[in-house]
Amino acid sequence: MAMMATNIFQKIIDKQIPAKIAYEDDLCLAFHDINAQAPVHVLIIPKKVIRTHADLTDADEAVMGHIHLIAVKLAKQLGLDAGYRLVINCEEQAGQTVPHLHLHLMGGRAMGWPPG
């Protein structure tokens, strides 16, 4: 699927469209994926608009560390004791469809490797 022109995740941050929010603070928002690919599938996003992983700069070091630590907390809260997978799709060829960097936190089932 081609990358969407509009940033739907900004609308979720701005509470213009609903989402099942799992966690929120000043730096990030986490919400359940609308098309879950696993029993637990949460997206963790920086509130700062970063279009894609390749756009990261030194200024983003703290927020990127932060979203990983929130992933650890959410994995514990959501019962992913057996393990979980974190994914960031960067650009269309990797499967990115929303132009706002997001960390997929998925778990609750066995997963194959390599991914498709």
Bridge partners (DSSP) listed for residue 83: none
Active site residues: 102
Q: Is residue 64 a contact partner of residue 45, using CB atoms and an 8 Å limit?
A: no
* Least Å from the CB of residue 46 to ligand AMP: 14
Residues that bind ligand AMP (CB under 6 A): 8, 19, 31, 33-35, 43, 89, 95-98
SS3 41: strand
Q: Which is nearer to ligand AMP, 34 or 69 (CB)?
A: 34
* Least Å from the CB of residue 74 to ligand AMP: 15
Q: Is residue 18 a contact partner of residue 11, using CB atoms and an 8 Å limit?
A: no
**Which tokens sit at 108?**
């609750």
Q: Is residue 54 a contact partner of residue 65, using CB atoms and an 8 Å limit?
A: no
Q: Which is nearer to ligand AMP, 75 or 96 (CB)?
A: 96
* Least Å from the CB of residue 101 to ligand AMP: 9
